[in-house]
Amino acid sequence: MEELKKVQERVILFAAQKKNLKEEAAWESLDELEELVNTAGGEVVAKVLQRVDSINPGLYIGSGKVEEIREMAALHDVTGVISDDELSPVQMRNLSEALGIKVMDRTLVILDIFAQRARSKEGKLQVEMAQLKYQNSRLTGFGAMLSKQGGGIGTRGPGEKKLELDKRHIRTRMELLQAEIDQFEKHRQLLRSRRQKNSTPVVAIVGYTNAGKSTLLNTLADSDIYAADQLFATLDPTTRAVALPSGSEILLTDTVGFIRKLPHHLVKAFYSTLEEAKYADIILHVVDASSEHLATHYEVVHETLKSLGITDIPIITVYNKIDKVNEHYLKDEQAMQHVEISAREKKNLEGLLNILEEMLYEKMKAFKILIPYAQSDLVAFCHAQGERLEEEYLNEGVLLSGYMHSDLFYRIKDYIVD
């Protein structure tokens, strides 16, 4: 693929405020879109909000507002406009013709950020696949606009490479990408089955983008995964071993951040990066306690988890950045467990680990067994898989008691004593 020069877009943001949406919430979403554009490397010149009874199927907003934006764009030397909602192919084509400049939407901006952030081979494959699926239905009009751009938002794939705009080539490329993605999926399933056999508990970190997930993982695992105070600082899932207060280990996995108005098809495209949450023993939901939009962010994460079918895994709500909070903030008192921490300042991390360990032991079962000395391999197995072990050497063999995952009891059931 052809390499692109970086171009800074000058854009106008626009949104339709439907009757059931409060004006404050609509502006809040537009402000977040501005953050996304800044993260993607663009510059926001203006933001436009129109209250509507219903969405215009042809233009998304009213024709009068479109003309207003066209005049504003000409006045301020704007290179493109970005909708806060995902536009249909028809809306994108009609707006492109009416405005004469590049038309984009929130989904395209998020994909562009993903393309810049993806570091692993699998992450890059998934991003390019999602981009091509998005582009494939929008090439008429939109493709012509993109082909004129030197390298702005929406034109680049992972590694600053120019995206394919030929429909035939797109189909071929998507087939190749899918074959490679399938291979990564098989490898991940193999790793997961090995972990399950090893019975090491898996804990997944989820949360709204920029809540501090990677910082928490870095602090607990004493690692150096890239973390920054920006949206979607990390895209690729990372797993690290972390020691609990008792000395036993867990596998802690970071996941891509959630964000409002993330279309379901985009969530599905990055499902594999969120898969670890679906197979985790416990989920840590990291919340930025200092955010004025805490309640909205909290709800977005829970709704996204629900859309992924993740409804029956225990969740610990972790209120992060507590060092930045100067006043009372809204907490979910109905949460199964919650804890207040500062990952950056390393405040109350021991409290978090204690709660985590308590919840993990709730998922384990107590045992007491007498193992003949000839069965030394079983003693080794118990030391590897058991927790809080107590050991006593008797004439008949080794008396062991402790805790173990119930799905491993088949290995010790013949030696259980009262």
411 vs 401: CA distance, rounded Å: 14
Q: What is the 3-state secondary structure (H, E, C) of 99-145?
A: HCCEEEEHHHHHHHHHHHHCCCHHHHHHHHHHHHHHHHCCCCCHHHH
Instruction: Of 49, 133, 55, 132, give the one whose Cα is nearest residue 91.
Output: 55
210 among annotated binding-site residues: yes
Chain-centroid distance of CA 382 in Å reads 36
344 among annotated binding-site residues: yes
322 among annotated binding-site residues: yes
Q: Which residues contact 387 (CB under 8 A, 6 or more apart)?
A: 246, 248, 361, 364, 402, 403, 404
233 among annotated binding-site residues: yes
The pairing of beta strand 387-393 with beta strand 315-320: unpaired
Which DSSP category does 88 fall into? P
The neighbour count for residue 180, using CB atoms within 10 Å, is 15
What is the Cβ-side half-sphere exposure of residue 230, based on CA atoms within 13 angstroms?
18
94 among annotated binding-site residues: no
186 among annotated binding-site residues: no
150 among annotated binding-site residues: no
7 among annotated binding-site residues: no
Q: Is 210 helix (H, G, I), strand (E, B) or coil?
A: coil
Q: What is the 3-state secondary structure (H, E, C) of 336-388?
A: CEEEECECCCCECHHHHHHHHHHHHHHCEEEEEEEECCCCHHHHHHHHHHCEE
Q: Which residue has the tokens 């996204």?
A: 304
207 among annotated binding-site residues: yes
343 among annotated binding-site residues: yes
176 among annotated binding-site residues: no
285 vs 279: CA distance, rounded Å: 15
Tokens of 106: 């929130």
Which one-letter amino acid corresponds to residue 97? E
154 vs 241: CA distance, rounded Å: 37
Task: Report yes or no: 47 and 64 within 8 Å, Cβ to Cβ.
Answer: no
351 among annotated binding-site residues: no
Q: Name beta bridge partners: 208.
A: 258
229 among annotated binding-site residues: no
212 among annotated binding-site residues: yes
256 among annotated binding-site residues: yes
140 among annotated binding-site residues: no
100 among annotated binding-site residues: no
Q: Name beta bridge partners: 240.
A: 252
320 among annotated binding-site residues: yes
Q: Which residue has the tokens 């021991």?
A: 350
**Which residues fall in the annotated binding site for Mg(2+)?**
214, 234
**Which residues fall in the annotated binding site for GTP?**
207-214, 232-236, 254-257, 320-323, 342-344
**Which residues fall in the annotated binding site?**
207-214, 232-236, 254-257, 320-323, 342-344
